[in-house]
Amino acid sequence: MKELEKAYEPKEYEGNIYKKWEDSGLFNPDVCIEKGITKSDADPFCIILPPPNVTGTLHIGHAVMLAIEDVMVRYHRMKGDRTLWVPGTDHAAIATQEKVERILWNEEKKTRHDLGRDVFLKKVEQFAQDSHDRIINQAKRMGTSLDWSREYYSLDDTRNLAVKTAFKKMYDEGLIYRGDRIVNWDPKMQSNVSDIEVVRKEEKAPFYYFQYGPFTIGTSRPETKFGDKYVVMHPEDARYAQYKHGDTFECEWINGKIKATIIKDDAVDPEFGSGVMTITPWHDATDFFIAERHGLEKKQVIDFQGNLLPIAEEFAGMNILDARPKIVEKLKAKGLLVRVDEEYVHSTATNSRGGGLIEPQIMKQWWVDVKKEFVMEHSEIEGIKKGETMTLQKILQHVVRAKQIEILPERFEKNYFNWVDNLLDWCLSRQLWYGHRVPAWYRGEELYVGIEAPEGEGWEQDPDTLDTWFSAGMFSFSPLGWPDENATDLQTYHPTNVLETGYDILTFWVVRMILMTTFLRGQVPFKTVYLHGLVRDEQGRKMSKSLDNIIDPLEVSDKFGTDAVRLSLMVGSTPGNDTKLSEEKIGSFRNFANKLWNISRFTLLNIEDPQKDREYPSAKTLADQWILARLSQVVKSVTEDIESYKFSPAAETLRDFTWNELADWYLEIAKIEGNKSHILNFILNTILKLWHPYMPFVTETIWQKVYGEEEILMGEKWPVMQETNTAMDTMVIMDFMLLQNLVTAVRSVRSEYGVEPGKFVSVYVSAAEKKAFLEKNSETIQKLARIEDLVIEEQLNKPENAVSCVESGLEIFVDVSGALDVEKEKERIHKEIAQVEPYITGLQKKLENQDFVSNAPEAVVTQEKEKLAVAQDKLQKLHEQLAKL
């Protein structure tokens, strides 16, 4: 007879199990077809892994993504779908370059310019390779069943060709253009950055009010005001009705008299300040678009190093932060400083990669025009025909509004449309060295855009690289072989089924994937967008180094096992909502993994031959009928929930069944009734399959120990229960519930009166309609509830010294007098009361202390109040028990 070890030790098994999976080749759908696990004409199911950035290591957010996607992939593979999960990593240009530049400076006190482009890029590539190797190893440690034979890198040759092909196609269509527009410029990094790299920090700073002709204007940045010669107000502001759009006036300003022009525009907030503002179109995005609307002149005041230009006269060459107080002093001396608000809180834009202050600048860059009309060359998008005139913005609106792409949770559609409906042209170029080089060449006034360099001498390639999101926007199809439209994977798996990612990049990445795919392929990129939330600590705080609350997924995997980490990240979490994580929570799921191991251990000891009797068994007793009926319901519920992306409810249903029904009830009854080999084997076989997507390591380990190492659970078929009589199942479940309720009622009385587990009680049941049923199951009831004498009658009077209760229509009398030492029980209760009362007094004094209540975190005060309520409830029950004795 086989026997499992007494405890499950994850470290002993996880490495070998993963190697066995890899060696089997079953991560590859083509191998699954060859081995007959999947039919060649099966429905495809495909996910492209959102590629981790090659900037370091995987964090807990990656672990959430990997766990959720692996559940989907393992389920669909077992279901029989042609399942492909494509792995990859992203070069993350700005993040990777910034990190290497920082290392270079810290270690060698050199900049990239000291090394030159080629030498510097070799350093970046080596860093990226080392980071890639760590990430892949970590992804494997998390149990991911990715098809490593199809791994891609966003800068590899195939993806590079895809990027250049896409750029040229969009340029030829007129959707990509080169023009002067405002960007997020980082003087420290010497590059513009995308909106997602901009972090806004609120801070107090002086807000200055100046006299500007007849108006009072306010600003926190007086150093930008040298070129201001337009005063803007809302057209409906009655305070300034006497001023007409285009009116001019002269006024004294920083460097003497200027001629200013009145501009009326809806962008001005009449409620802010005086309702009047001057604009600096070169250094503020709002001002830039006002100037664009009215055709106004734009003057550059600050250079690309963050210093003032000659327009600032005596301040020229000064850093803007150094110049600011001196400029204010000059305006004050002129009598133009009205007042200063020292308590003003404003938002400062910084680059998340390196912390440089963002200085908006107008620059000649490459852009995607989202509002330009073009003709659809090809369309498989419902509601958009080939040859129809569209814009990128209209397509983005259509595919989500028409539900061709479903966003989960649905409330995030509002975020999507808030962004898309106000979409601005997309700046593509970055002044970086690492990344996809802009495929454009210049010779004098000539411009050439193409996949390869033009023939002839004198051509110089654009030095800029493309925004990382441009290549990332093609990740639904470039990893499948595009631009080769005949690539087998592209033909088979696109559109992909699901994009699973964090809600924080919905507007940055998801929108751009839809934009790129619908234009370049005439298809949606995926059918469903599943947005997971952020992982926070047990107090709900964001994890950060400064708070020292970061949970490393690999460290906790070493400590508790990978399955426990995966389960802790999914159970209790819902799409779009942040979730709390603590080591205590992870530890609880380690306990569950051990519970599953122990269930399997007991089951195996009671199976005659695991290789036989795997088909649906016949039920011999009520308990058999009940467990099979419940198992059938659980298989149906778990399957439906996974199909509906309800991963937490599926796992919770499965956990409750495994622990509360199978372990606590059926296995206990199996010990009483005996001869359960066939049914136990079938149940174990089924629950291991159901648990496998969530807990792949422990389930695979058990499977191979029970059924032999030549079998791999990952390649087994998902359980499908045979059709049963639903009405009959319901009756069985109700009958068994009656038995459960009777046993539970007796156990509650035993517990309440302190009856020791080894002692028996006498029970009398008044059961009019259920007498025969209870008598038939009397042995099971007696052994489960440790009943010495069980008397069942249609009608009973309360026996002397018995405690009575009513449960499910049964009147139950429990005689504890023979099993209870009353004096000893009184002594025990008195001791508990003596411990609880001072504990309650201490909590009450703490909560009456106003210093504690005012200064302690709200969560801590709430926790103390909850402790007090629990203790008071316990004290009340102790007094009630004492009174009964």
Task: Tell whether the model's pLDDT for residue 539 goes beyond 80.
Answer: yes
Task: Tell whether the model's pLDDT for residue 497 goes beyond 90.
Answer: yes
Q: pLDDT tens for residues 486-496?
A: 999 999 999 99
Tokens representing 337 are 């400083």
Task: Tell whether the model's pLDDT for residue 884 goes beyond 80.
Answer: no
What domain range is 851 assigned to?
822-884
Binding site listing: 545
Let me know how many helices (H) and strands (E) the chain has, helices first. Answer: 28, 33
Q: pLDDT tens for residues 375-425?
A: 999 999 999 999 999 999 999 999 999 999 999 999 999 999 999 999 999
Domain end marker among 771, 787, 820:
820
CATH number of the domain at 248, please: 3.90.740.10
pLDDT band at 676 (very low <50, low <70, confident <90, very high): very high
Tell whether 6 is covered by a domain. Answer: no
Give me the pLDDT at residue 726, please: 82
Tell whether 14 is covered by a domain. Answer: no
* Cα angle for residues 243, 248, 253 (degrees, 5° grid): 110
Mark whether 708 and 748 lie in a shared domain: no
Domain end marker among 467, 500, 532:
532
Angle between helices 726-752 and 622-643 in degrees, nearest 10: 110
Percent of the chain with pLDDT over 70: 98
Task: Tell whether the model's pLDDT for residue 579 goes beyond 80.
Answer: yes
Tell whether 416 is covered by a domain. Answer: yes
Mark whether 713 and 749 lie in a shared domain: no
Mark whether 467 and 507 lie in a shared domain: yes
Higher pLDDT, 885 or 693: 693
Which of 407, 525, 542 is CA-nearest to residue 477?
525
Binding site listing for ATP: 545
Q: Which residues contact 108 (CB under 8 A, 6 or more apart)?
A: none
Cα distance between residue 110 and residue 784, in whole Å: 76
Cα distance between residue 784 and residue 669, in whole Å: 8
Tell whether 554 is covered by a domain. Answer: no
Q: pLDDT tens for residues 589-621?
A: 999 999 999 999 999 999 988 888 778 899 999
Q: pLDDT tens for residues 135-189?
A: 999 999 999 999 999 999 999 999 999 999 999 999 999 999 999 999 999 998 8
Mark whether 496 and 398 lie in a shared domain: yes
Dihedral Cα 781, 786, 789, 790, nearest 10 deg:
-20
The number of CA neighbours under 13 Å toward the Cβ of 602 is 18
Q: pLDDT tens for residues 749-805?
A: 888 888 888 888 888 888 878 889 999 999 999 999 998 888 888 887 777 777 777
Higher pLDDT, 565 or 837: 565
Tell whether 541 is covered by a domain. Answer: no
Burial class (CB within 10 angstroms; exposed 0-12, middle 13-18, buried 19+) of 169: middle
Give me the pLDDT at residue 142, please: 95
Tell whether 842 is covered by a domain. Answer: yes
Which of 229, 164, 237 is CA-nearest to residue 436?
164
Cα distance between residue 544 and residue 487, in whole Å: 43
Cα distance between residue 607 and residue 617, in whole Å: 13
Task: Tell whether the model's pLDDT for residue 354 goes beyond 80.
Answer: no
DSSP state, 882?
H
User: Which whole number is the average pLDDT over 687-700?
Assistant: 98
Give me the pLDDT at residue 515, please: 97
Mark whether 829 and 693 lie in a shared domain: no
| SS3 (DSSP) at 129 | helix
Tokens representing 284 are 């503020």
pLDDT band at 823 (very low <50, low <70, confident <90, very high): low
User: Which whole number is the average pLDDT over 516-541?
Assistant: 92
User: Which whole number is the average pLDDT over 11-15?
Assistant: 95
Tokens representing 766 are 């008044």
Mark whether 381 and 477 lie in a shared domain: yes
Cα distance between residue 4 and residue 23, in whole Å: 25
Q: pLDDT tens for residues 546-570?
A: 677 778 888 999 999 999 999 999 9
β-bridge partners, 362: 182
Domain end marker among 532, 560, 591:
532
Mark whether 377 and 511 lie in a shared domain: yes
Mark whether 153 and 275 lie in a shared domain: no
Tokens representing 520 are 């370049």
CATH number of the domain at 848, please: 1.10.287
CATH number of the domain at 473, please: 3.40.50.620
Give me the pLDDT at residue 760, please: 83
Cα distance between residue 783 and residue 777, in whole Å: 10
Give me the pLDDT at residue 1, please: 52
Give me the pLDDT at residue 457, please: 93
Q: Are strands 787-793 and 761-766 parallel, antiparallel or unpaired?
A: parallel
Dihedral Cα 797, 800, 806, 807, nearest 10 deg:
-100
Task: Tell whether the model's pLDDT for residue 683 goes beyond 60.
Answer: yes
Give me the pLDDT at residue 329, please: 96
Cα distance between residue 73 and residue 65, in whole Å: 12
Mean pLDDT, the chain, whole residue set: 91
Cβ(689)–Cβ(707) below 8 Å: no
Task: Tell whether the model's pLDDT for residue 233 goes beyond 90.
Answer: yes
Mark whether 211 and 330 lie in a shared domain: yes
Select, from the ranges 505-509, 816-820, 875-879, the one with the highest average predicted confidence (pLDDT).
Answer: 505-509
pLDDT band at 883 (very low <50, low <70, confident <90, very high): confident
Handedness of CA 400, 401, 407, 413 (dihedral sign): positive
Give me the pLDDT at residue 614, please: 79
Give me the pLDDT at residue 885, please: 61
Cα distance between residue 329 and residue 325, in whole Å: 6
Cα distance between residue 323 and residue 699, in whole Å: 67
CATH number of the domain at 672, please: 1.10.730.10
Which of 388, 394, 441 is CA-nearest to residue 421?
394
Tell whether 145 is covered by a domain. Answer: yes
Cβ(8)–Cβ(701) below 8 Å: yes
**Domain count of the chain?**
5
**H or E stretch including 788?**
strand 787-793
Cα distance between residue 94 and residue 54, in whole Å: 11
Give me the pLDDT at residue 130, please: 93
Mark whether 469 and 373 lie in a shared domain: yes
Mark whether 714 and 737 lie in a shared domain: no
Task: Tell whether the model's pLDDT for residue 810 goes beyond 90.
Answer: no
Give me the pLDDT at residue 296, please: 94
Tell whether 21 is covered by a domain. Answer: no
Give me the pLDDT at residue 870, please: 81
Mark whether 594 and 653 lie in a shared domain: yes
Q: Give buried/exposed letters for 26-60 (b at 16+ CB in 10 A, else e).
A: bbbbbbbeeeebbeeebebbbbbbbbbbbbeebbb
